[in-house]
Amino acid sequence: MARLVMKFGGTSVADLDRIRNVAQRVKRVQDAGNEVAVVVSAMSGVTNQLVGYVQGLAALYDAREYDAVVATGEQVTAGLTAIALQEIGVDARSWQGWQIPLRTDDAHGRARIESIDGTDLIARMQAGQVPVVAGFQGIGPRNRITTLGRGGSDTSAVALAAAIRADRCDIYTDVDGVYTTDPRIVAKARKLDKIAYEEMLELASVGAKVLQTRSVELAMKERVRIQVLSSFADLPGTLVVDEDEIVEKEIVSGIAYSRDEAKITMRRVPDRPGIAAAIFGPLSGAGVNVDMIVQNMSADGTTDMTFTIGRTDLPRARAIMNEHRASIGWTEMLTDPDVAKISVVGVGMRSHTGVANTMFSALASKGINIQVISTSEIKVSVLIGAEYTELAVRALHTAYGLDAA
Ligand code: ADP
Ligand code: ASP
Ligand code: MG
């Protein structure tokens, strides 16, 4: 007997038939003698639609009201899944974030979980009830509804697993595991039986949407075992494990892309001490996350500063740069939303050289221009024109010998 969290993503609860399928799967696992807690996402497409409503009314909207709107998708699926379970004779009830309560900080739209009280849930699970928890949402310090950032139901599931001391957190999705790259754009992507936490963390943070970055961070910290698997097939999935559990280490284990970036260049800003702080201070103060940064050589006392941010932050970032124009002293601002970040990740990079060069050569051979480069111990990322995304990912997948036979 084990205690398990089963998390179902948007495609797994996309309509009533799929919700019935989820209920059957949960029942099978419970019938096998396990205690089960379920976490659900909104039906696929619903969160995007809700975000669209908010953005349709205001470019710079009130983030607290954004959360009040976008958290509703999960309220619906939690209730529906509980009903579907009841219909097949499983004792179940839905839980909204605030009812548990799942407490977060007040960073609306990207809140962090601070605590989850698992006592009541554990007692009910022991009595045979299945809690169905609305993912993605919590309650902030001022009793307002918060959401955990896009893809946040994964984090709800891992945090819940830690709070109820579950033996494993199973993430059911529309692919049967973690692949060497997104199997939807590279037909030759290979499924991995195991992946190290650190690699999964890095892949998630550079855009592999299969798990939200924070869920992996949390799993690493709380030592939650994660399995990623399909909710449509009965196949073993991918286990996220410690690095020393992986016998055959590849130099590069995965390639990820992100089209959610935008590039900003501040032209001819004064090249003086404090200029980076003058630009990035106000952005970070407003919660705009800056990712890649390059500062050019200066010849005439001015320099160009190029950086990337999340594309949805572009209106906010522009407004902030306009507001601080005098203190920064910029003369021209160029923005480009048509960029993509491509990253190669692998713990083997620590002990091998030439990984970045393979990347640069492979991109050059396809005529793809690199705009910005950034590296970490186990990752190399480049910024390129968005139209080359798929070409670049496929070329790199082949160049690093990852293609399935
Ligand atoms: P869910 O709605 O279940 O949370 P997501 O759409 O958030 O599902 O995540 C699953 C998707 O992640 C897959 O459909 C796939 O296109 C994408 N993906 C990106 N990179 C990878 C990867 N390396 N391995 C598996 N899936 C990936
Ligand atoms: N429904 C939310 C989203 O689309 C959370 C999730 O699916 O994990 O971002
Ligand atoms: Mg997801």
pLDDT-derived band at 344, boundaries 50, 70, 90: very high
For the CA of 153, the nearest atom of ligand 1: 4
Name residues whose C-beta falls within 8 Å of residue 394's C-beta, 6 or more positions apart in sequence.
185, 186
Ligand sitting nearest the alpha carbon of 210: 1
pLDDT tens digits, 378-405 = 999 999 999 999 999 999 999 999 998 8
pLDDT of residue 65: 98
For the CA of 148, the nearest atom of ligand 2: 5
pLDDT tens digits, 216-229 = 999 999 999 999 99
For residue 152, how far is its CA from the centre of ligand 2 (angstroms)? 6
Structure tokens at 9: 């993503």
Beta bridge pairs of residue 95: 133
pTM above 0.75, yes or no: yes
For residue 78, how far is its CA from the centre of ligand 3 (angstroms)? 16
pLDDT of residue 3: 97
For residue 325, how far is its CA from the centre of ligand 3 (angstroms)? 38
Range in 102-106, 230-234, 345-349 with the lowest mean pLDDT: 345-349
pLDDT of residue 351: 86
For residue 9, how far is its CA from the centre of ligand 1 (angstroms)? 10
pLDDT tens digits, 8-18 = 999 999 999 99
pLDDT-derived band at 159, boundaries 50, 70, 90: very high
- Name the residue with tokens 């797994």: 12
On average, the pLDDT of the chain sits at 95
pLDDT of residue 299: 79
Q: Which CATH class is domain 3-174?
A: alpha beta
Substitution site in 148, 210, 211 for ligand 1 pocket (most atoms within 8 Å of beta carbon): 210
pLDDT tens digits, 243-298 = 888 877 788 999 999 999 999 999 999 999 999 999 999 999 998 999 999 988 77
Residues lining ligand 2, judged by CB closer than 6 Å? 9-10, 41-42, 47, 73, 135-136, 150-154
Structure tokens at 317: 């970032």
If we measure between CA atoms, which residue out of 398, 269, 253 comes closest to residue 321?
A: 269
Domain regions of the chain by residue span: 3-174
Q: Which helix (H) or strand (E) holds 172?
A: strand 168-173
Asked if residue 192 has pLDDT above 80, the reply is yes
For residue 311, how far is its CA from the centre of ligand 1 (angstroms)? 20
Spatial separation of the C-alpha atoms in residues 10 and 24, rounded to whole Å: 17
Ligand sitting nearest the alpha carbon of 209: 1
